[in-house]
Amino acid sequence: MRKMMKVAMLATTALGFTATNVLALEWNVSLWGKRRAFTEHVEKLAELVSEKTGGGFTLNISYGGLSKNRENLDGISIGAFEMAQFCSAYHPDKNPTLMVLDLPFLGVETLKQEGDLDLALYQHPAAVEDLKRWNAKVIMASPLPQYNLAGVGEAPSNLADMEGLRVRATGGIGEAFKKVGAVPTSVTSSEAYTALESGVVDAVAFAPHAHLSFRTIEIADWWTTNLNPGSVNCPVVVNIDAYNALSDEHREALDSSIPAAMDRYYEAYQEVYDKWGPALEENGVEKVTLPEETVQGLQEAAATPVREEWIAANKDSIPAEELYQFVKDKLAELKSQ
Protein backbone atom coordinates (compact mmCIF):
# COMPACT_ATOMS: atom_id res chain seq x y z
CA MET A 1 0.00 0.00 0.00
CA ARG A 2 2.79 2.36 0.98
CA LYS A 3 4.62 1.53 -2.26
CA MET A 4 1.49 2.25 -4.32
CA MET A 5 1.08 5.64 -2.59
CA LYS A 6 4.70 6.48 -3.33
CA VAL A 7 4.27 5.62 -7.02
CA ALA A 8 1.10 7.76 -7.15
CA MET A 9 2.90 10.71 -5.56
CA LEU A 10 5.76 10.39 -8.04
CA ALA A 11 3.31 10.27 -10.92
CA THR A 12 1.51 13.38 -9.65
CA THR A 13 4.83 15.19 -9.30
CA ALA A 14 5.83 14.19 -12.82
CA LEU A 15 2.51 15.36 -14.23
CA GLY A 16 2.84 18.68 -12.38
CA PHE A 17 6.34 19.16 -13.74
CA THR A 18 5.20 18.40 -17.26
CA ALA A 19 2.28 20.82 -17.00
CA THR A 20 4.56 23.57 -15.73
CA ASN A 21 6.88 23.11 -18.68
CA VAL A 22 4.01 23.06 -21.14
CA LEU A 23 2.73 26.36 -19.75
CA ALA A 24 6.18 27.97 -19.74
CA LEU A 25 6.87 30.14 -22.77
CA GLU A 26 10.21 31.08 -24.28
CA TRP A 27 10.79 33.71 -26.95
CA ASN A 28 14.04 34.04 -28.87
CA VAL A 29 15.34 37.57 -29.33
CA SER A 30 17.82 38.49 -32.06
CA LEU A 31 20.23 41.36 -31.35
CA TRP A 32 23.84 41.90 -32.43
CA GLY A 33 27.18 43.12 -31.14
CA LYS A 34 27.27 42.87 -27.37
CA ARG A 35 25.21 44.08 -24.44
CA ARG A 36 25.38 47.87 -24.36
CA ALA A 37 23.24 50.98 -23.82
CA PHE A 38 21.58 50.33 -27.18
CA THR A 39 20.21 46.99 -25.92
CA GLU A 40 19.52 47.79 -22.27
CA HIS A 41 15.77 48.22 -22.78
CA VAL A 42 15.55 44.71 -24.22
CA GLU A 43 17.60 43.31 -21.34
CA LYS A 44 15.36 45.11 -18.82
CA LEU A 45 12.24 43.90 -20.62
CA ALA A 46 13.46 40.30 -20.36
CA GLU A 47 14.18 40.74 -16.66
CA LEU A 48 10.77 42.22 -15.88
CA VAL A 49 8.76 39.75 -17.96
CA SER A 50 10.42 36.80 -16.27
CA GLU A 51 9.92 38.38 -12.85
CA LYS A 52 6.23 39.15 -13.41
CA THR A 53 5.45 35.64 -14.66
CA GLY A 54 7.55 33.77 -12.13
CA GLY A 55 9.75 32.50 -14.94
CA GLY A 56 6.75 31.37 -16.96
CA PHE A 57 7.64 33.69 -19.85
CA THR A 58 11.29 34.22 -20.72
CA LEU A 59 13.08 36.16 -23.44
CA ASN A 60 16.24 34.39 -24.58
CA ILE A 61 18.49 37.15 -25.90
CA SER A 62 21.09 36.28 -28.54
CA TYR A 63 23.80 38.67 -29.74
CA GLY A 64 24.34 37.52 -33.29
CA GLY A 65 23.63 33.85 -32.76
CA LEU A 66 20.25 33.84 -34.48
CA SER A 67 20.72 36.13 -37.45
CA LYS A 68 22.85 38.83 -39.02
CA ASN A 69 21.69 42.33 -38.11
CA ARG A 70 20.67 43.09 -41.70
CA GLU A 71 18.49 39.97 -41.74
CA ASN A 72 16.58 40.43 -38.48
CA LEU A 73 13.46 41.77 -40.19
CA ASP A 74 13.45 38.78 -42.54
CA GLY A 75 13.79 36.45 -39.56
CA ILE A 76 10.80 38.08 -37.88
CA SER A 77 8.73 37.74 -41.05
CA ILE A 78 9.15 33.96 -41.21
CA GLY A 79 8.95 33.40 -37.45
CA ALA A 80 12.57 32.31 -37.09
CA PHE A 81 12.48 34.18 -33.76
CA GLU A 82 9.84 36.17 -31.92
CA MET A 83 11.57 39.48 -31.21
CA ALA A 84 14.37 41.46 -32.83
CA GLN A 85 16.00 44.84 -33.14
CA PHE A 86 16.96 46.29 -36.50
CA CYS A 87 17.96 49.60 -38.04
CA SER A 88 15.75 50.68 -40.92
CA ALA A 89 18.70 52.16 -42.83
CA TYR A 90 20.10 48.64 -43.30
CA HIS A 91 17.31 47.97 -45.82
CA PRO A 92 15.40 51.16 -46.74
CA ASP A 93 13.48 49.37 -49.48
CA LYS A 94 11.95 47.00 -46.91
CA ASN A 95 10.69 49.75 -44.58
CA PRO A 96 10.36 52.95 -46.62
CA THR A 97 7.96 54.66 -44.22
CA LEU A 98 10.49 54.52 -41.38
CA MET A 99 13.18 56.23 -43.41
CA VAL A 100 11.58 59.64 -42.85
CA LEU A 101 13.12 59.52 -39.37
CA ASP A 102 16.59 59.19 -40.91
CA LEU A 103 16.34 62.39 -42.94
CA PRO A 104 19.17 64.75 -41.95
CA PHE A 105 18.83 67.81 -39.74
CA LEU A 106 15.27 67.22 -38.56
CA GLY A 107 16.00 69.38 -35.53
CA VAL A 108 15.74 66.84 -32.69
CA GLU A 109 17.30 68.28 -29.54
CA THR A 110 17.19 65.51 -26.91
CA LEU A 111 17.26 61.74 -26.73
CA LYS A 112 13.79 61.65 -25.13
CA GLN A 113 12.44 63.79 -27.98
CA GLU A 114 13.92 61.30 -30.44
CA GLY A 115 12.33 58.37 -28.64
CA ASP A 116 8.89 59.97 -28.48
CA LEU A 117 9.12 61.03 -32.12
CA ASP A 118 10.15 57.54 -33.24
CA LEU A 119 7.27 55.91 -31.37
CA ALA A 120 4.76 58.38 -32.79
CA LEU A 121 5.87 57.58 -36.33
CA TYR A 122 5.82 53.83 -35.66
CA GLN A 123 2.13 54.15 -34.71
CA HIS A 124 1.20 56.03 -37.89
CA PRO A 125 -1.16 53.84 -39.96
CA ALA A 126 1.16 53.88 -42.97
CA ALA A 127 4.11 52.67 -40.87
CA VAL A 128 1.98 50.00 -39.20
CA GLU A 129 0.88 48.67 -42.59
CA ASP A 130 4.44 48.87 -43.93
CA LEU A 131 5.75 46.60 -41.16
CA LYS A 132 2.77 44.27 -41.38
CA ARG A 133 4.21 43.12 -44.70
CA TRP A 134 6.98 41.56 -42.61
CA ASN A 135 4.61 40.26 -39.92
CA ALA A 136 6.25 42.77 -37.57
CA LYS A 137 4.84 44.96 -34.83
CA VAL A 138 6.96 47.65 -33.12
CA ILE A 139 6.95 47.52 -29.33
CA MET A 140 9.86 49.83 -28.48
CA ALA A 141 12.05 52.47 -30.05
CA SER A 142 15.83 52.59 -29.70
CA PRO A 143 16.43 56.35 -29.93
CA LEU A 144 20.00 57.30 -30.69
CA PRO A 145 21.90 60.48 -29.87
CA GLN A 146 23.01 62.70 -32.72
CA TYR A 147 25.79 61.20 -34.79
CA ASN A 148 29.24 62.72 -35.16
CA LEU A 149 32.37 61.65 -36.99
CA ALA A 150 35.40 59.88 -35.55
CA GLY A 151 38.20 59.60 -38.04
CA VAL A 152 41.88 59.17 -38.82
CA GLY A 153 44.34 61.52 -40.49
CA GLU A 154 43.63 65.21 -40.83
CA ALA A 155 40.32 66.35 -39.38
CA PRO A 156 38.03 68.36 -41.70
CA SER A 157 37.77 72.05 -40.86
CA ASN A 158 35.45 73.25 -43.64
CA LEU A 159 33.14 71.95 -46.36
CA ALA A 160 35.97 71.71 -48.87
CA ASP A 161 37.68 69.16 -46.60
CA MET A 162 34.63 66.91 -46.94
CA GLU A 163 35.37 66.39 -50.64
CA GLY A 164 36.40 62.76 -51.13
CA LEU A 165 36.18 61.90 -47.42
CA ARG A 166 35.15 58.25 -47.15
CA VAL A 167 32.55 58.06 -44.40
CA ARG A 168 30.74 55.12 -42.86
CA ALA A 169 27.26 56.62 -42.86
CA THR A 170 23.84 55.18 -43.65
CA GLY A 171 20.41 56.49 -44.62
CA GLY A 172 19.80 60.21 -44.77
CA ILE A 173 23.05 60.96 -43.00
CA GLY A 174 24.97 59.26 -45.79
CA GLU A 175 23.00 61.22 -48.36
CA ALA A 176 23.79 64.45 -46.51
CA PHE A 177 27.52 63.81 -46.66
CA LYS A 178 27.26 62.87 -50.33
CA LYS A 179 25.83 66.34 -51.07
CA VAL A 180 29.07 67.98 -49.92
CA GLY A 181 31.36 65.61 -51.82
CA ALA A 182 32.01 62.92 -49.22
CA VAL A 183 31.80 59.25 -50.17
CA PRO A 184 29.39 57.41 -47.85
CA THR A 185 29.57 53.65 -47.41
CA SER A 186 27.10 51.51 -45.48
CA VAL A 187 29.28 48.92 -43.78
CA THR A 188 27.52 47.54 -40.71
CA SER A 189 28.31 48.79 -37.23
CA SER A 190 30.12 45.54 -36.47
CA GLU A 191 32.42 46.11 -39.49
CA ALA A 192 33.16 49.77 -38.75
CA TYR A 193 36.32 49.22 -36.67
CA THR A 194 37.93 47.05 -39.34
CA ALA A 195 36.90 49.45 -42.09
CA LEU A 196 38.50 52.38 -40.27
CA GLU A 197 41.60 50.42 -39.29
CA SER A 198 42.20 49.09 -42.81
CA GLY A 199 41.61 52.41 -44.54
CA VAL A 200 38.37 51.41 -46.26
CA VAL A 201 36.87 54.52 -44.66
CA ASP A 202 38.43 57.70 -43.28
CA ALA A 203 35.73 58.36 -40.71
CA VAL A 204 32.77 56.68 -39.04
CA ALA A 205 29.47 58.41 -38.23
CA PHE A 206 28.16 56.97 -34.97
CA ALA A 207 26.44 58.04 -31.80
CA PRO A 208 28.81 58.07 -28.78
CA HIS A 209 27.64 54.70 -27.44
CA ALA A 210 28.48 53.00 -30.73
CA HIS A 211 31.91 54.62 -30.94
CA LEU A 212 32.53 53.11 -27.49
CA SER A 213 30.95 49.73 -28.16
CA PHE A 214 32.58 49.19 -31.55
CA ARG A 215 35.91 50.66 -30.36
CA THR A 216 36.35 53.18 -33.18
CA ILE A 217 37.77 55.77 -30.79
CA GLU A 218 40.61 53.38 -29.97
CA ILE A 219 42.08 54.09 -33.41
CA ALA A 220 40.53 57.48 -34.23
CA ASP A 221 42.60 60.66 -34.19
CA TRP A 222 39.69 63.09 -33.94
CA TRP A 223 35.97 63.42 -33.22
CA THR A 224 33.62 66.19 -34.34
CA THR A 225 31.63 67.73 -31.51
CA ASN A 226 28.98 69.65 -33.44
CA LEU A 227 28.12 68.25 -36.87
CA ASN A 228 24.94 66.64 -35.49
CA PRO A 229 23.50 65.58 -38.86
CA GLY A 230 20.90 63.29 -37.33
CA SER A 231 20.71 59.66 -36.30
CA VAL A 232 19.17 56.40 -37.45
CA ASN A 233 16.05 54.71 -36.11
CA CYS A 234 16.23 51.17 -34.85
CA PRO A 235 12.94 49.73 -33.60
CA VAL A 236 12.39 46.63 -31.51
CA VAL A 237 9.73 44.47 -33.15
CA VAL A 238 7.85 41.27 -32.41
CA ASN A 239 6.38 38.70 -34.75
CA ILE A 240 2.66 39.55 -34.97
CA ASP A 241 1.52 35.92 -34.87
CA ALA A 242 3.62 35.23 -31.77
CA TYR A 243 2.33 38.36 -30.06
CA ASN A 244 -1.31 37.53 -30.85
CA ALA A 245 -0.82 33.99 -29.52
CA LEU A 246 0.25 35.24 -26.07
CA SER A 247 -2.05 34.54 -23.15
CA ASP A 248 -3.61 37.57 -21.50
CA GLU A 249 -1.20 37.17 -18.57
CA HIS A 250 1.90 37.01 -20.76
CA ARG A 251 0.79 39.90 -22.98
CA GLU A 252 0.12 42.03 -19.92
CA ALA A 253 3.54 41.16 -18.50
CA LEU A 254 5.18 42.19 -21.77
CA ASP A 255 3.22 45.36 -22.45
CA SER A 256 3.28 46.66 -18.89
CA SER A 257 7.08 46.27 -18.71
CA ILE A 258 7.82 48.53 -21.65
CA PRO A 259 7.76 51.91 -19.80
CA ALA A 260 10.25 50.72 -17.19
CA ALA A 261 12.40 49.16 -19.90
CA MET A 262 12.56 52.50 -21.72
CA ASP A 263 13.42 54.28 -18.46
CA ARG A 264 16.38 51.94 -18.11
CA TYR A 265 17.39 52.72 -21.70
CA TYR A 266 17.59 56.46 -20.98
CA GLU A 267 19.51 55.79 -17.75
CA ALA A 268 22.00 53.68 -19.69
CA TYR A 269 22.62 56.49 -22.16
CA GLN A 270 23.25 58.95 -19.35
CA GLU A 271 25.91 56.53 -18.14
CA VAL A 272 27.42 56.61 -21.65
CA TYR A 273 27.53 60.41 -21.63
CA ASP A 274 29.32 60.29 -18.28
CA LYS A 275 32.00 57.99 -19.77
CA TRP A 276 32.38 59.70 -23.13
CA GLY A 277 34.66 62.62 -22.25
CA PRO A 278 37.12 60.54 -20.20
CA ALA A 279 37.19 57.87 -22.96
CA LEU A 280 38.15 60.45 -25.59
CA GLU A 281 40.91 61.80 -23.37
CA GLU A 282 42.19 58.32 -22.50
CA ASN A 283 42.49 57.42 -26.19
CA GLY A 284 44.05 60.72 -27.18
CA VAL A 285 41.18 61.66 -29.48
CA GLU A 286 41.11 65.36 -30.41
CA LYS A 287 37.75 67.11 -30.06
CA VAL A 288 37.13 69.09 -33.24
CA THR A 289 34.49 71.82 -33.16
CA LEU A 290 33.74 72.91 -36.69
CA PRO A 291 33.03 76.56 -37.51
CA GLU A 292 29.34 77.43 -37.43
CA GLU A 293 29.41 78.40 -41.11
CA THR A 294 30.65 74.90 -41.97
CA VAL A 295 27.80 73.25 -40.09
CA GLN A 296 25.26 75.64 -41.63
CA GLY A 297 26.74 75.02 -45.06
CA LEU A 298 26.26 71.28 -44.61
CA GLN A 299 22.68 71.84 -43.52
CA GLU A 300 21.91 74.09 -46.47
CA ALA A 301 23.58 71.77 -48.96
CA ALA A 302 21.97 68.61 -47.63
CA ALA A 303 18.73 69.00 -45.69
CA THR A 304 16.35 70.33 -48.32
CA PRO A 305 17.60 68.37 -51.36
CA VAL A 306 17.79 65.07 -49.47
CA ARG A 307 14.26 65.58 -48.15
CA GLU A 308 12.88 66.51 -51.57
CA GLU A 309 14.61 63.58 -53.24
CA TRP A 310 13.24 61.19 -50.62
CA ILE A 311 9.69 62.47 -51.08
CA ALA A 312 9.95 62.31 -54.87
CA ALA A 313 11.37 58.78 -54.81
CA ASN A 314 8.68 57.45 -52.48
CA LYS A 315 5.53 59.44 -53.20
CA ASP A 316 4.05 56.78 -55.51
CA SER A 317 4.38 53.96 -52.98
CA ILE A 318 3.88 55.62 -49.57
CA PRO A 319 2.41 58.94 -48.35
CA ALA A 320 5.93 60.40 -48.16
CA GLU A 321 5.04 64.09 -47.89
CA GLU A 322 2.36 63.35 -45.30
CA LEU A 323 4.85 61.36 -43.23
CA TYR A 324 7.44 64.13 -43.37
CA GLN A 325 4.88 66.72 -42.29
CA PHE A 326 3.68 64.39 -39.53
CA VAL A 327 7.23 64.12 -38.19
CA LYS A 328 7.82 67.88 -38.31
CA ASP A 329 4.47 68.64 -36.61
CA LYS A 330 5.04 66.01 -33.94
CA LEU A 331 8.53 67.30 -33.22
CA ALA A 332 7.19 70.86 -32.87
CA GLU A 333 4.59 69.54 -30.42
CA LEU A 334 7.24 67.71 -28.40
CA LYS A 335 9.44 70.79 -28.23
CA SER A 336 6.54 72.89 -26.92
CA GLN A 337 5.88 70.56 -23.99
Q: Are residues 121 and 78 in the same domain?
A: yes
Is residue 16 predicted with pLDDT exceeding 70? no
Q: Are residues 223 and 85 in the same domain?
A: no
Beta-carbon neighbour count of residue 5 at 10 Å? 9
Do 141 and 236 form a contact (C-beta atoms < 8 A)?
Answer: yes
Of 14, 24, 233, 225, the residue nearest 115 (C-alpha): 233
Q: Report the CATH number that the domain containing residue 98 is assigned in CATH.
A: 3.40.190.170
- Mean pLDDT, all residues of the chain: 91
Q: What is the pLDDT of residue 32?
A: 95
Q: What is the pLDDT of residue 188?
A: 86
Is residue 21 predicted with pLDDT exceeding 70? no
Q: Are residues 205 and 91 in the same domain?
A: no
The answer to whether residue 1 sits within a structural domain is no
Is residue 18 predicted with pLDDT exceeding 50? no
For the stretch 136-147, pLDDT in tens is 999 999 999 889
Do 331 and 107 form a contact (C-beta atoms < 8 A)?
Answer: yes
For the stretch 228-283, pLDDT in tens is 888 889 999 999 999 999 999 999 999 999 999 999 999 999 998 899 999 999 99
Q: Are residues 76 and 38 in the same domain?
A: yes
Of 288, 47, 320, the residue nearest 162 (C-alpha): 288
Q: Are residues 216 and 200 in the same domain?
A: yes
Say how far apart CA 213 and CA 203 lie, in whole Å: 16
The answer to whether residue 196 sits within a structural domain is yes
Q: Helix, strand, or coil here: 258?
A: helix
The answer to whether residue 6 sits within a structural domain is no
Q: What is the pLDDT of residue 20?
A: 39
pTM of this prediction?
A: 0.81
The DSSP line for 184-209 is EE---GGGHHHHHHHTS-SEEEE-HH
Quote the domain boundaries for residue 193.
148-231+284-336
Of the chain, the percentage scoring pLDDT greater than 70 comes to: 93
